[in-house]
Structure 1
Amino acid sequence: MLEKSFINKHASGLHARPAALLVQKANSFPCEISLTRGDKRVSARSLLSIISLGIGANESVTVIAAGEKEAEAIQAIGELLEAGE
């Protein structure tokens, strides 16, 4: 299991469009991927769960991956979070 924190650079926060892209990217990996903010942890494969975290612009989010290709998954999700719009 690996985990790494990233800063969300999307100006409007992690709203529907960037969250949908994140879900799509998470579903392309065979490992389990979760996002945490504060004490809340959700699956990165669930759009509604990600939106429920309420991740705003310039807020920290931790990506946790466990299983095959976990390092690649964390890097890809992190790049989406830090790319912004």
Structure 2
Amino acid sequence: MLKKEVIIKNKTGLHARPAAVFVEAADRFESDVEIIFDGIAVNAKSIIGVLSLGIGKGDQITLVTEGSDEKEALEYLIEIIENSFGENGGGEYDTL
């Protein structure tokens, strides 16, 4: 199991499109992925779970990955967050 704390930097936080981008990315991996925010843990592969956290700009979350590709999953999800979910042209993370 791997854990990493990350600050959400994009202007809208983890809502609507950024949440969809994040959930789709998490779903690409076999590992279990959780987001912990304000003491609540949710499955990061669930759009309802992610949206229910109400994560905004500047909020700190903890990502937890566990499974056969946990390292790759954690690194990729952190990259997406650091690139503001592609909102600033910082990555190709558009949803299908």
Interval containing the TM-score (normalised by the shorter chain)? over 0.9
Structure 1, unmatched stretches of 5+, are none
Aligned to 2:4: 4
Number of equivalences: 85
Q: Tell me if 1:23 matches 2:23.
A: yes
Bigger Rg, structure 1 or 2: 2
Q: The residue matched to 1:4 in structure 2 has which SS?
A: strand
Aligned to 1:77: 77
Residues in 1 aligned to 2:61 and 2:45: alpha-carbon distance in whole angstroms: 15
Tell me the C-alpha RMSD between the 2 structures.
0.8
Shift of residue 7, structure 1, vs aligned partner? 0.8
Instruction: Give the TM-score taking structure 1 as reference length.
Output: 0.95
Amino acid at match of 2:73: A
Amino acid at match of 1:33: V
Give % identity. 38
Aligned to 1:34: 34
Shift of residue 80, structure 1, vs aligned partner? 1.4
Q: The residue matched to 1:56 in structure 2 has which SS?
A: coil
Shift of residue 82, structure 1, vs aligned partner? 1.8
Instruction: Give the TM-score taking structure 2 as reference length.
Output: 0.85
Residues in 1 aligned to 2:52 and 2:71: alpha-carbon distance in whole angstroms: 25
Aligned to 2:60: 60
* Shift >3 Å, 4+ stretches: none
